[in-house]
Amino acid sequence: MKILITDGIEKTGADILLGAGFELTQKTLNAQELLEAISGYDAIIVRSATKVTKDVIDAGTHLRVIARGGVGLDNIDVAYAKMKDIEVLNTPKASSISVAELTIAHLMSLGRFLPMSNITMRKKEWPKKEFSAGIEVTGKTLGIIGLGNIGREVARRALGLMMTVVAHDPYVASTDLNVRLVSKDELLRVSDYITLHVPFEKARGPMIAKADFEKMKDGVILINCARGGVVVEKDLLDALNTRKVLYAGMDVFEHEPPTPEEFDLINHPRVSVSPHIGAATREAQDRVGVEIAQKVVESLNASVKEDETVPA
């Protein structure tokens, strides 16, 4: 069987696929090239760059598996793939630690002005007085929206920092962590810090918009290492300008790369930014490669056995 890998895979993952006897093609393709090539493959492995649309799925006449090395599936038409009996796979746990650590990095660095002081000192300035009113995280309340794999890892680290943690997740009824489950409105009301770990769903729309900002404490700190679109960026910028939100940490944006208009937010003096690198650690990439390869091998082998049991 033939597997197309468009956004790369770690050697450990590729070795698993080769060891299982599959033929690999690794190349970057634009949308038209993908449409022309996909019919020759039984499976495709992507990351976030490649879009597996309805047209791609229709052109993939031999596709059995679509695999995404990562958590989100927003670049894949999952419903249509399932309608065509194509299995869709992802790696929801492999990058959880890395994303959680970046979340904590933004959270910690904002309270001690690290992004701002780096910029200022490189201009040969000494902003000791300007950045003298730091904020400790100890004893503060962190609100986590989305208590899945990543949200749980964030909670563990926040508890280790002696923070109080509350969480809102309509799909979680109980937890073994020392975390209080609350309504979204209560979380917005009591949290000193808020971090989001939910997918962006077009049908649901953004998780945080103007009305939500109005319910937050004055001077709240907001972190988004989840997905662009879960926070309305214009409303966040307004909240920063009124100091309803004191600081924001952003790893994801509505458009990636960002549009010129989005740089009003990125260049804001009280915002810490990173270019969607939550899962971009050596350890996470290796785990992603291994996990997705193992899942693809299992799925393709199962589909072959199923074919063998179907009467001719």
- Residues contacting residue 83 through CB under 8 Å, at least 6 positions apart: none
Tokens of 268: 């804001």
Q: For residue 72, count other CB atoms closer than 10 A to its CB.
A: 16
* Residue of 186, 189, 276, 298 with catalytic role: 276
Residue 308 is among the residues annotated as catalytic for this protein:
no
Name the DSSP letter for residue 254: S
The greatest distance separating any two alpha carbons of the chain, rounded to the nearest whole angstrom, comes to 80
268 is known as an active-site residue:
no
Of these residues, 68, 152, 227, 287, which one is catalytic? 227
Where would I find the H helices in 112-228? Answer: 114-121, 149-160, 184-190, 210-215
| Dist. CA 154–CA 251, nearest whole Å | 15
Q: Which of 1, 3, 101, 107 lies closest to 45, judged by CA?
A: 3
Is 62 marked active-site? Answer: no
Token pair for residue 76? 């894949």
Catalytic choice (214, 256, 261, 306):
256
Active-site residue set: 227, 256, 276
